Amino acid sequence: MIDVHCHILPGVDDGPKTLEDSLEMIKIAYEDNITDVIATPHINHPFQFPGEANSNNQFQLLKEKAIQLYPDVTLHLGSEIYITPSFLIDIKENLTTLSDSSYILIEFARETLGTAILDAVHELKLKGYRPVVAHIEMYSDVVARPYIVKEIRKSGGYIQITASSLLGKHGKEISGFIKTLLADKDIDFIASDGHSVYSRRPVLSHAYEYIEDKYSKEEADRLFITNPKHILDNKELAINVIEREQKKKSKLLFPVIAAVLALGILSLGMTNQFNSADARALIKAEANKSESLSHNSEDISEQESKDENLYTKNLQSEDETSLISANGNKTSESGQDISKNSDSRNVSAKYRSQLESLQSQTEGQLASLVQEIDYIKNTTNDEVERKSKIDAKLDEIGNLENKTENKVYSILYDMQNELEKEGLDVSEVQTLRDEYHQIKSQRTDKYINQLQN
């Protein structure tokens, strides 16, 4: 098998910290019958991993050691690129693609709308890349509207899911979403997204066996061997989209994307989609617009959403209890499960408390900055001076967003790693993330209205 998405380089991102751990991950991959691993360190990530610039050197070091110990496993260099609007504007020509091919692995902020992902895929295609959207199941808007995946694929984008998500690691809703995609062959790659020896391990065999058992060996080979080999050989992979009968209204991408940008202007910064210059430009544009920007993103009718949910539920009913793991054992509601649920709640409560404290602290700082901008507007008569002062405050808001973004990611990373290390359910990470985004969106509306008045 070929693993096209794995954080295996030592000391460059949130993957293994030491060379020894990286070599142990290669051993795990080797024992799992993985012959090729594409190392995909984070690039342009809001967490600003300090080792990003050293990826090439660490890859060469690991490759030399791995050849001596595990000659049957071939390492390839790639990257996982975090896409933001400003990044799309200034795309560099020397991006690290997957195994020096035209394929590029991309990720987004978790709350990014599917239409924005679609637009980014289109932009990257125009630049000559073949974009692969990493862990598509982690974007809540796409999970709620699975047909967007077809639009992404029709635009030339490829879809990757994570093996652990297929096996139910992130909850029933995401499992049902993946089954929806599998029904129409809307998944192109299944990868490990491996990060360490203990949690998020580079293992694909269980997922392969699940696909082989539930679908076919041909489908398993397509997702784990044949399609990934197109990346290694830098050959075009044909995209076949199975159209399902449904009446959909045409979507206007630009109004929706504009709404997304507007919602991010004064947010606490979970997305980090904007630098301070982005924020300034957007806030100035907002001053000339009408009030209810937050509703522009509702481009799908209520009936269409119901249709999609019904389709997903129908697929879920085939296996209503839960996904069966590859070894054929069903999960049971035992005393051990109850104990694990209790442990999971305790871990979640700890990190929820940290996030609530961070929200409270940042909201106070944000409210203060907005008040200062309001004061400047009311007391500074000179237009040039007023503009200069307001721009300085907007820069402070941008910096606050970035700092909060890093802290939020740090908390959620620590939470997921602790849950996985203890073998506990990690779906609460997504729940906390979604709650945070909802609070952030409400707060954004509040401050946009405050600045417009």
Q: Would you state the pLDDT for residue 163?
A: 95
CA–CA distance, 185 with 426 (Å, rounded to integer): 26
Flag whether pLDDT at 222 surpasses 60: yes
Least confident of 6-15, 212-221, 227-236, 281-290: 281-290
Query: Across the chain, what does the average pLDDT equal?
Result: 79
The pLDDT of 236-253, averaged and rounded, is: 67
CA distances from 389 to 160, 275, 383, 408 (A): 45, 18, 10, 29
CA distances from 169 to 144, 165, 196, 430 (A): 18, 5, 16, 11
Q: For the chain, what are the domain ranges?
A: 2-232, 332-452
Q: Would you state the pLDDT for residue 425?
A: 76
Give the tokens for residue 218. Answer: 């041909």
CA distances from 414 to 64, 97, 352, 388, 418 (A): 31, 28, 12, 39, 6
Whose CA is closest to 264, among 280, 243, 241? 280
Q: What is the pLDDT of residues 74-95, one digit of tens each?
A: 999 999 999 988 888 777 778 8
CA–CA distance, 17 with 35 (Å, rounded to integer): 23
Q: Would you state the pLDDT for residue 90?
A: 77
Q: Which residues pair with 133 in a beta bridge?
A: 106, 159
Q: Would you state the pLDDT for residue 412?
A: 78
Confidence of residue 445 (pLDDT cuts 50, 70, 90): low
Confidence of residue 338 (pLDDT cuts 50, 70, 90): low
The pLDDT of 10-31, averaged and rounded, is: 94
Q: What is the pLDDT of residues 397-440, one digit of tens each?
A: 766 766 776 677 678 778 877 887 777 777 777 777 777 767 76
The pLDDT of 257-277, averaged and rounded, is: 39
The pLDDT of 296-315, averaged and rounded, is: 46
Flag whether pLDDT at 168 surpasses 60: yes
Q: Which residues pair with 39 in a beta bridge?
A: 6, 77
Class of the CATH domain delimited by 2-232: alpha beta
Q: Would you state the pLDDT for residue 243?
A: 81
Q: Would you state the pLDDT for residue 264?
A: 42
Flag whether pLDDT at 388 surpasses 50: yes
CA–CA distance, 361 with 108 (Å, rounded to integer): 26
Confidence of residue 27 (pLDDT cuts 50, 70, 90): very high
Q: Would you state the pLDDT for residue 451?
A: 66
The pLDDT of 116-128, averaged and rounded, is: 91
Question: Who wins on pLDDT, 302 or 102?
Answer: 102
> Alpha-carbon torsion 111, 106, 14, 341, what sign?
positive
Percent of the chain with pLDDT over 90: 43
Percent of the chain with pLDDT over 70: 74
Flag whether pLDDT at 25 surpasses 80: yes
Question: Who wins on pLDDT, 425 or 257?
Answer: 425
Flag whether pLDDT at 334 surpasses 50: yes
The pLDDT of 171-195, averaged and rounded, is: 94
The alpha carbon torsion through 285, 289, 295, 301 (nearest 10 deg) reads: -100
